[in-house]
Structure 1
């Protein structure tokens, strides 16, 4: 049974964790958003009651 031999699987495990820990995080952290969020005002807009036409 090949799954009992750890030699090829251990190398695959180490290489995949190397990719996850070294290559991918800088790519994710370098992502920039096209629209920066803006702060919203604390004032609430005036609300009007909803006129139900069928009553």
Structure 2
């Protein structure tokens, strides 16, 4: 039964998993320079429209 032979796909699967885990750890450990601001503190008053007619 050739589908039970792990030789052709085992190394590809392990390499893919290790690559994904490495990328995941790089992304989670990165520092984002653009910090989000709190929108509740900044309330901007939108001016009303003055229609000419």
Q: Same fold (TM over 0.5)?
A: yes
Where in structure 1 do 4 or more consecutive aligned residues deviate above 4 Å?
A: none
- Higher RCO by CA contacts (8 Å cutoff, separation 6 or greater): 1
Task: Compute the displacement of 1:6 (Å).
Answer: 4.6
Flag structure 2 segments of 5+ consecutive residues without an equivalent. Answer: none
CA distance in 2, matches of 1:15, 1:8: 13
Coordinate RMSD, CA, aligned: 2.4
For structure 1, list consecutive stretches of 5 or more residues without a partner in the other structure: none
Paired positions, count: 49
